[in-house]
Amino acid sequence: MKRLKQWARGAIVCCFSLVASGTFAQDALNVTAAGNFGKGEGESKAVFAAGSLVYYAVGEKLQIASFSDPANPLKVASVTLPNIIEDIVRTSINSVQHLVVVGGPRMWLINVQNPTTPSVVSTVNIGSTCEGLATSGTNAYVAAGGLGLQIYNISNPASPTFVAGIDTLEYCESVVISAPYAYIAAGSRSHIVNISNPAAPTVAGQYRARGYHQYANVRSGHLYVCDFDLGLDVVNVTNP
């Protein structure tokens, strides 16, 4: 389902950009490709941009590239992992830049303080197919497929520790954080989970629709849900 989720994520960005402009046709004509990188290397399923650096996945390979000149991107480094990569987040842990990466049943922490020499610091066996990822503070929140939401403390990147989980949700496809809640797209519904105490997460509310929830994001009290072939649902979550 990840390919559809990534498509949906891009669709949301495009829709918001066009709606915000107020003129669909005119602005759409002004959207042009600035460059391309990695064509022909394989299926790219996850990306995270920070400054001029872009971290993206091609199958099992994590690629790091500099896009300081978008028309002429430069490959900086790569790391090959044992599973197809599903999601990537960069976060600072103890003032050191790390990537948190999920794919297959695993989560990896990769030191990228020097992006030319990335190094895998630790591997965590989650135990189920990891579809999505978010970080907040010292915790990583994993949308772990059939295992629901799994929370790990990553304050020590060399030894992440399990904090808590909710495995009674449907198949979890994605997770985003807007404190104090985690918003999780999971099968026929999206769940709102209170994570004010990460050691004891609780389901605060849910939204159920007719389709299959691939991806959800939240902004200004509204939840935007990609409802598979039923389009984009907009839900008021000011009182979850």
pTM of the model: 0.86
**Is 40 exposed, middle or buried (CB count within 10 Å of its CB: 0-12, 13-18, 19+)?**
exposed
What is the model's pLDDT at position 39?
Answer: 76
Which one-letter amino acid corresponds to residue 230? L
Contacts of 27 (CB under 8 A, 6+ apart): 17, 18, 21
- Side-chain half-sphere exposure of 235, counting CA atoms within 13 A: 26
Assigned token pair, 147: 């295992």
**pLDDT of res. 229:** 80
Q: Spell out the per-residue pLDDT of the chain, length 240, in tens.
A: 554 444 444 443 444 333 444 444 455 567 777 767 777 877 888 999 999 999 999 999 999 999 999 888 899 999 999 999 999 999 999 999 999 999 999 999 999 999 999 999 999 999 999 999 999 999 999 999 999 999 999 999 999 999 999 998 999 999 999 999 999 999 889 999 999 999 999 999 999 877 888 888 999 999 998 988 888 889 999 998
Task: Measure the CA–CA gap between 110 and 90, rounded to whole angstroms.
Answer: 9
Written as one string, the DSSP assignment of 140-176 is: EEEE-BTT-EEEEE-SSTTS-EEEEEE-SSS-EEEEE
pLDDT of residue 107: 99
What are the pLDDT digits (tens) for 25-68?
A: 455 567 777 767 777 877 888 999 999 999 999 999 999 999 99
**What's the CATH number for 2-20+43-236?**
2.130.10.10
Contact of 124 with 160, CB cutoff 8 Å: yes
Residue 231, pLDDT score: 87
Predicted pLDDT of residue 227? 84
